Structure 1
Amino acid sequence: MRLMVAEQQQQMKRLEQVQGWLSRVQHVQTKVRELTGERSGGFCSMNCLSSYKFGEKVVETLQDVQSLRNEGNFKEVAQARPLPENLVDEKALPPILVGLQDSTNQVWRCLMEEEVGILGLYGMGGVGKTTLLTLINNKFFDTPNDFDLVIWVVVSKDLQLKRIQDCIARKIGLFSRSWNSKSLLEKAEDIFKVMKRKKFVLLLDDIWEPVDLAQVGLLVPSATRASNKVVFTTLEFEIGGQMEAHKSFKVECLGYEDSWKLFEVKVGRDTLDSHPDIPELAKTVVKECGGLPLALITVGRAMASKKTPREWEHAIEVLSSSAFKFSSMEKKVHSSLKLSYDFLAQRCIEILSIVL
């Protein structure tokens, strides 16, 4: 009964010596059934030698039973399940990283402060919050730390506590066939039993509303007890307050020099050098992107094949005119996407005209 409680309710793993004892018990039980079968099957030999041998078997089995009873008084029957060896899942990064090294170092130093348990990263869409969070995640590989595990969860607009619980369960070895049949409360209780003994970092990417960590099954880090850490990314600064973040870090757009480096890589020197007027036009395009990495990457890829000044002038017109249709946070993203869409539509028309 103790073993059943430990395994089913506490999600623990039986000790090897307990498993060995149970195997010996099973072996003795088989011997008892065989002996009982011999007696109940009408065995009553007048042969003294046979009766003597049967008696020896009974005495020997009784001695085994008594020995097992004496040895079966275990103080502990199970232990916590071992965590996976790879406590940090390394995540892929973009091939080109510009202007994030200083931010990564700042966030890391802030995260290591004792009084910081919950840290929010906020900024407009496409500014690089997920990339920054990825850099923090991967930094646990090559930087000494005393955490037991790092857990990454993509939350997105449709908040589902079940998804967060499932990610944690997979990381700590709780996920099984029976896991999905449990209620949110049962899952939270199972997670709490394991995680209360662990020092963890939880990385929540792209949250749109506050996440109730207690409902997930986690101890909520406080400013006085910040052994565990929670880092999240969000669009709105207000979410940090609702999550009771101990510190919030704004992810800023790139400066002009870093913007040009990123844009230059995406466009390619071959295109920039294809006409003497294009470099100057390209600088105007970069300024229109406002230092937003997503806009720089999207527009840079769209302009990689444009080798005439007129095409670049058209791009500037699209970027500047469409920007007025959107709010300050969205205009750079929308205008860059519109430019890419226009070029894609134009290319489709060209291909169709050739086919027809």
Structure 2
Amino acid sequence: MPQPRMRGIGTDRALARLRGCIAEDDVTIIGLYGPEGVGKTTRLKKLNNDFVGSGGGDFDSVIYVDVARCSNDARKIQEAIGERLGLRARDDELEQQIRRCLNHTSFLLILDDVREFVDYEELGVPCDGGRCARHRSRPHRRKIVVATPFDYVCAHMLAEETIEVEGLGREEAWKLFAENVGRDAMGADAEVHALAEAVVRNCGGVPGKLIEYARALAGKRSVTEWKRVMWEKRMSSSSGDSVDIIDVIY
């Protein structure tokens, strides 16, 4: 199956600001929030790969953890951190081993898809009063990035700076949708074109949704087919995951 086209995603102002916060001396914990599918993970993986590809940059360790995949379980998150650090400790020693390792190194910890509070201390990440403990020789090279769909989680995770990942602008959203659905399909019928405009509008600029709907509609040329696909997606999706079908169809 061909990969969806996501030209330009991950190279925008949000990523630039995130890099800026990481470079700042007085910011330790950074929150990144936005709706599902808006591209938070894409940006974080690019950030992680850039640092890893450059040998870590200013950090001795760069640690990326998909917290949702760990079911927000502290033990599983510890195991993921320990694996990235090359630790082979017993379960009852892992927290201490992580703490001992991070106490003597500079690190960038990226916690992706955090849905609820995670205790840094329980993970073994050295923190003091909401600010990570700092290494004497390199006092500003310890950073935590927390990505979440919810802005309040940034506060719970003690973020000192928060960055909202916004959806694409109208023209960018239309271009992304058109590239994935196929311009021939949208040009086949004026009413199909009108439906396409409504779908793009209702996706709110969220790249994940735009691509999801575009790929479901690709190859469909009639109004009947488009409406059928929209109803099918409405029935198979949770209420928060589908576009406003009534607005699209009527």
Q: So what's the TM-score if we normalise by structure 2?
A: 0.80
Contact 2:146 2:157 in 1 (8 A): no
Give the one of 303, 326, 334 matched to 2:242.
334
Q: Secondary structure at 1:207's aligned position in 2?
A: coil
Question: What TM-score results when the alignment is normalised by the length of structure 1?
Answer: 0.58
Partner of 1:198: 105
Residue 162 in 1 paired to residue 162 in 2? no
Q: What is the number of equivalent residue pairs in this alignment?
A: 230
Moved more, 296-305 or 149-158: 149-158
CA contact (8 A) 1:298 1:336 kept: no
Indicate if the aligned counterparts of 1:192 and 1:219 stay in contact, CA closer than 8 A. yes
Q: How does 1:196-275 map to 2 (within 5 A)?
A: 196-220=103-127, 221-222=131-132, 225-275=139-189
Q: What is the match of residue 134 of structure 1?
A: 45
Greater relative contact order structure (CA < 8 Å, 6+ sep): 2
Q: CA deviation at 1:98?
A: 3.8
Q: CA deviation at 1:167?
A: 1.6
Q: Secondary structure at the match of 1:295?
A: helix
After superposition, the C-alpha distances for 1:229-262 in whole angstroms (9 at most, x for unaligned) are 1001112211111111110111112111111111
User: Alignment partner of 2:195: what SS?
Assistant: helix
Alignment of 1:315-334 (within 5 A): 318=231, 326=239, 330=240, 333-334=241-242
Q: How does 1:284-303 map to 2 (within 5 A)?
A: 284-303=198-217
Is 1:111 the equivalent of 2:22? yes
How far apart, CA to CA, are the structure 1 residues paired with 2:32 and 2:227?
A: 36
Deviation, 1:203, is 0.6
**Would the alpha carbon gap of residues 241 and 276 (structure 1) be closer, same or farther in structure 2, given more than 3 Å must change?**
closer
Equivalence for 2:60: 148
Q: In the TM superposition, what whole-angstrom CA distance separates every residue of 1:102-160 from its partner, at most 9, and x where no partner exists? A: 22112111221111110011122222221121122122135983111211111118321
Gap change, CA 1:168 and 1:314, over 3 Å in 2:
closer
Kindly indicate whether residue 30 of structure 2 is the aligned counterpart of residue 122 of structure 1. no
Gaps of 5+ in 2: 246-250
**Deviation string, structure 1 residues 16-72 (Cα, Å, up to 9, x no partner):** xxxxxxxxxxxxxxxxxxxxxxxxxxxxxxxxxxxxxxxxxxxxxxxxxxxxxxxxx
How far, CA to CA, are the matches of 1:309 and 1:248 in structure 2?
Answer: 43
CA deviation profile, 1:298-355 (whole Å, cap 9, x unmatched): 1101110211134345667x59x98xx94xxx2xx22489xxxxxxxxxxxxxxxxxx
Give the structure 2 partner of residue 58 of structure 1: none
| Percent of matched pairs sharing the same residue | 34
Is the alpha carbon distance of 1:291 and 1:143 closer, same or farther for their aligned partners in structure 2, counting shifts above 3 Å?
Answer: farther
Aligned with 2:66: secondary structure? Answer: strand
- State the partner residue of 2:248: none
Of Structure 1 and Structure 2, the greater helix share is in 1
Structure 1 distance, partners of 2:221, 2:21, is 46
Q: Distance in 1 between matches of 2:41 and 2:121?
A: 24
Contact preservation (8 Å) 2:32, 2:162? yes
Quickly say closer, same or farther: Cα 1:104–1:153, change in 2 above 3 A: same
SS at match of 2:57: coil
How far apart are residue 276 of structure 1 and its match? 5.2
**1:253-292 residue CA offsets vs partner (Å, 9 max, x unmatched):** 2111111111012101332343455334322221122212
Residues 1:189 and 2:93 are matched in the alignment: no
CA distances 1:188-224 after superposition (whole Å, capped 9, x unpaired): 1112222211111011111122221122112224498
C-alpha separation in 2, matches of 1:277 and 1:101: 34
- In 2: Cα distance, 1:240 partner to 1:285 partner: 31
Paired residues of 2:182 and 2:219 also in contact (CA < 8 A)? no
Contact 1:99/1:258, CA 8 A, preserved across alignment? no
Preserved contact between residue 165 and residue 188 of structure 1 (Cα < 8 Å): yes
Is the Cα–Cα contact under 8 Å of residues 4 and 211 in structure 2 kept in the other structure? no
1:311 to 1:188, Cα distance in 2 relative to 1, 3 A? same
- SS at structure 2 position matched to 1:302: helix
User: Could you tell me whether the CA contact under 8 Å between 1:151 and 1:171 is conserved in 2?
Assistant: yes
Q: Distance in 2 between matches of 1:187 and 1:143?
A: 25
Q: Who wins on radius of gyration, i.e. which is larger?
A: 1
